[in-house]
Structure formats: structure tokens, C-alpha cells
Amino acid sequence: MSSEVKVPTLGESVAEATIGEWLKQPGEAVRQDEPIASLETDKVAVEVMSPIDGVMGEQIAAVGDTVEVGALIAMIEEGEGGSAPAPAAKDKPAAASDDAARASDGEETGDAAVLSPAVRRAVLEHGIDPSSVKGTGKDGRLTKEDVVAAAQAKKDGGAAPAPAPSASPSPSPAPAARGERREERVRMTRLRQTIAKRLKSAQDTAALLTTFNDCDMTAVIETREKYKSLFEKKHGIKLGFMSFFAKAACLALKDVPAANAYIEGDEIVYHDYVDISVAVSAPNGLVVPVIRNADAMSFAEIELAIAEFGKKAKDGTLTMEEMKGGTFTISNGGVFGSLMSTPIINPPQSAVLGLHRIEDRPVAVNGEVVIRPMMYLALSYDHRLIDGREAVTALKIMKEAIEDPARILIDL
């Protein structure tokens, strides 16, 4: 007896997805509620679970196929799994992987042939040599998690895991001849396509302008250093810089409501609350989960929310609801070393605050040149709604609140 596997409901206004990766192959045993496939939507990756205990049967859709909600994508057979090699998806033995990534000479040899599109994307994004990573998947194949773990180990200064032992030697790809140049085509994920469309739409629709200021981080650094141990002991979370900027933004948006509004048709929609979208880097691209009612939250509540979103983004478990809405965005390019940037607004929002790296610079204080930890702040805004005076005022309020955190406590 067989059980059908269909595309689950993906969220409000999301009608289709792309098969990103098959996590189980035909013939492999599966347990009820065990993930068997990963679907890529416009915003998040969604796992499809097995409805019963059994054996992975026919895969009706291939990696790279676009499938609608409710569409049949696979069958689960009753019984126990064996060790037979996994056949390719129905009628599409290699089309998806061919489209996803192929060298310019049109051939795939050696280890490259067994990398799924999701793994290939992870390898390219993290700059990892797949031959240096031990695979934990079926028959020693690499999984996306293996690549992410290796990238984290590399970031932490550790060595990448040793290559997986091979039962029998396999031919290695021929080394490129001196001076030879190659290309590889990788299909854009649905998330990356959506990011591209939304950012281009923002440029085409909004009258984008950016105003800059610099900020002395001395007071925040000293406050953080003084209270970080007590803060972590009491709240179970580290005190970071983002909560200071979130509270400073809330202060500014109350005084400059246009920066917390958006245009809809010929009307301006204002909000008496602040929902801050926090730009987070995920394996498949940038995502923006929302801290709701940030203006009513404590520092600890904001830090806990940010930490939870960061973990979910890394694990690929953010939900549609967690990224829905938002009235203002904060993007921290400083974690990657950015000195200055002009961030693009997150439609339909009208403003975004860009944070950058902190570096010691000489500045004039009371007529003397001193060295201070400085950060450039950038506020990009829709000039159709926000005037230059309002934008500069909002950014100035944020700067002053960071340079004198007491302002946040007394709402000044």
C-alpha cells in the first residue's frame, strides 16, 4: 500500500515552490514526520515530511521543478528500506542537476557528479573545497549541513573535516591546463530571484536617497563592558550592540513618524508601533525576520529575539509569519567588515538604517585630537515620503542616543 506525498500549504499568498533537494532517495527507509524533501519558496525553505513509516518510493518531481501547493511529488511505500542504489526522479534523470550546475566543457566527472544543487550552492557560497569535507549522507555523499559545518570550522580557525574514506578509488577530475578558463552556471534559487526582484523594484519605484553620520561608540562600549556579565547572568543572553540601535531607532521613529510609515497608492500609512525588520544572513541569502513591538520591548527581549532569529536563519527554519510585515529595517554590514554603504529599503517600508564596522579614528573633542571607536551610520529613505530634514533629524536622534544611552532611558 502506498501513501501520497503532496506539497503542503506554504503560507499566505504563496502558491508554489521549487524542489530544492531530496533528503531521501527511493529505497531508503523513512519514519513518519521525517523530512524527505526541501522546498524553496520566495522567502523560506520548507521541509516536506513523510506521512507514514515506510520506504521512499517514486519521486514524481525532480530537483529544480516548480510545484504548486497540493501537487503530488512522491510516494511512500509500506515496508522496510533496503540498500539498493537510488534511481533518479521520474523521467528526469539528470535535467535538474544539469541546469543547476555544469562546467563550460559540458561534462561532470568524479565527485562533482554527486553534489546536489543545494550542496553546490552551499559550496560556492562558503568557498569550501568539497573534497576536503567528510560526507555524512548516503554512501558518504556531502549534505548542505556538512558544508555549513565545515565553513563554521574554517571561520573558527579549525581545520576542515578530513575527506571521507572511499571504498574504491574513483577518478579525479582532470586538472585545468595552465591558462585554461572555465565557467559554471548555477540556477538562482527562488529566494535569490525574489531578493533580486524586490531590490530592483525598490530602486525603480522609490526615490532613494541616503544620509550619513558618524557615531562615537565609546559610551555604548563602556556600558556594555560594565554590565555584560550581570546582564548575561540575569537574562541568559549576551548584551550586544543591536539592542542599543533598535531602542535608538524606536526613539527616532516616534519623533519622525514619516520614517516609520509607507506609501500605499495616494495615501500615507502611519504606525503607532515599531516593528523592526532585522536583516540576517542565511545560507541561501538575506532574510529579514521582524521584531514586533520593539518599542515596548526591553533590551533583553530584543537580544533574545535577535539570537533566536539568527539561529533559525542558520538552520533554515524561519517561518513566513516571522518575516511578514515590518515598519523599519536595520542592516548590520559591519559584521562583514563594511566601512560604509548605501542600504536599499525593504518595500513597502520607507527607511533602513545601515550599521558598519567600528574602528578607532582620530576625532576632535573639546579642541583636542583624540582616538575614539567610531562607526558610520547610513539612513537610506524614500524621498517621496521623507524630506531631507526629517531624515537627517531621525539619524541625528539615533546618533545622540548611542553616544549618550541615558537618552534612551528618559525618552529624550
Burial of 167 (0-12, 13-18, 19+ CB in 10 A): exposed
Rounded Cα distance, 41 and 324, in Å: 14
> CA–CA separation, 50 vs 53, rounded Å?
7
377 in Cβ contact with 341 (< 8 Å): no
The CA-based angle 78-139-47, given to 5 degrees, is 55
Which position among 33, 315, 387, 404 bears the catalytic label?
387
28 grid coordinates:
531508503
Q: Are 354 and 369 in contact (CB under 8 A)?
A: no
Is 235 a catalytic site residue?
no
Q: Pick from 7, 125, 22, 26: which is nearest to 67 by CA? A: 7
Cell of 347: 518595500
Catalytic residue among 105, 139, 315, 383: 383
Q: Is 146 marked active-site? A: no
Compute how many other C-beta atoms are within 10 angstroms of the C-beta atom of residue 405: 16
Task: Kindly give the pairing relationship between strand 2-6 and strand 72-77.
Answer: antiparallel
Q: Are 235 and 303 in contact (CB under 8 A)?
A: yes
Active site residues: 383, 387
